[in-house]
Amino acid sequence: MAKKKPAQKETMFTLRVARPTDNLPEVIKFYRDGLGLEVLSSFAGHNDFDGVILGRKGSPYHLEFTHKRGHEVGKAPSQDNLLVFYIPDEAQWSSAIDRMRRHGYEPVKSYNPWWDDGGRTFEDADGYRIVLHNKRWDK
């Protein structure tokens, strides 16, 4: 009698967070230069869309920013729209904060004060925010 294979846990292999922007060049600068992500791909004039995909080669996540020509999307709907990056190593965290500042981005007060305890929040040209948090996510 053949042995039955144990069921494998389902996993997500790659996560892409995609959102539109009216400020594509400024958003690219924020996430590439300030945050330190790499341009993995970009496109122009694809069905009236221009865009960029940023991340780190080999990482299971990336961010996509698009702009549809002739269309306005506006600002973030609230100050609590966040991408949180957990950076447990203090030297790496400090380096990430310094890189943001070197590129002209200063921390802003978090909408939710919990993020200010061990983290720094930065806002992009569209009003969306990232948190660089000096803690480990281990749940």
Name every residue whose Cβ is closer than 8 Å to that of residue 51 and which is 6 or more positions away in sequence.
Answer: 24, 42, 43, 64, 65, 66, 67
Phi, psi of 29 (to 5 degrees): -60, -45
Cα 28 from Cα 10, distance rounded (Å)? 33
Strand 61-68 and strand 15-20: the pairing is parallel
Q: pLDDT, tens digit, for every residue of 51-87? A: 999 999 999 999 999 999 999 999 999 999 999 999 9
Chain centroid to CA 115: 16
* pTM, rounded to two decimals: 0.89
What pLDDT does residue 1 have?
A: 59
